[in-house]
Amino acid sequence: MAHHQTRLDMSQDEQRKFFTFKGDKSDKFEVVRVHENREGAGEGHKAADRGADGAYQVVCKSLPDHNVLYTSPHQETAIACCNLANEVMRSLKHKGPDAEGELPAHEREGVEKAHSFHGLDGSAVLPELRRNVGQFYRRLMEMGKL
């Protein structure tokens, strides 16, 4: 039987490397915790809030609605996907739509590791994440929010 790597198998440095939110003020995506006892995706708390059970969502801060990029029950996967989305968005803003197919290696590895901890295939979500970030990029361009 194959052994799935867990957070316990990683050093603290490795955990910080892959599962720490690397955001800054110019980022378009953030992780919010959605509590089950609240209504609407907009009423969440930052991922650092360890309150009641709920999902973690990667949301586009610049859009008022239809702003959820990714939802996960696992904080690590949401943070890794958020870091990847922000890097892809930076690349798109820098290089334009030609960069849409690019996925930064470090962030891609973080998404794959975070998913594998929960027995999931992280490489399966990468094409959809890339495509969806491209759609958010186009919406933000049309709205003049880049």
Q: What is the pLDDT of residues 104-127, one digit of tens each?
A: 888 888 898 888 888 888 888 999
Q: What is the pLDDT of residues 25-57, one digit of tens each?
A: 889 999 999 975 444 444 333 433 433 457 999
Q: What is the pLDDT of residues 54-95, one digit of tens each?
A: 799 999 999 988 999 999 999 989 999 999 999 999 989 888
Q: What are the extents of the domains in the chain? A: 26-142
Task: Please give the pLDDT value at position 102.
Answer: 74
What is the enclosing helix (H) or strand (E) of 131? helix 126-142
What is the DSSP annotation of 91-105? HHHHH-GGGGG---H
Spatial separation of the C-alpha atoms in residues 18 and 85, rounded to whole Å: 14
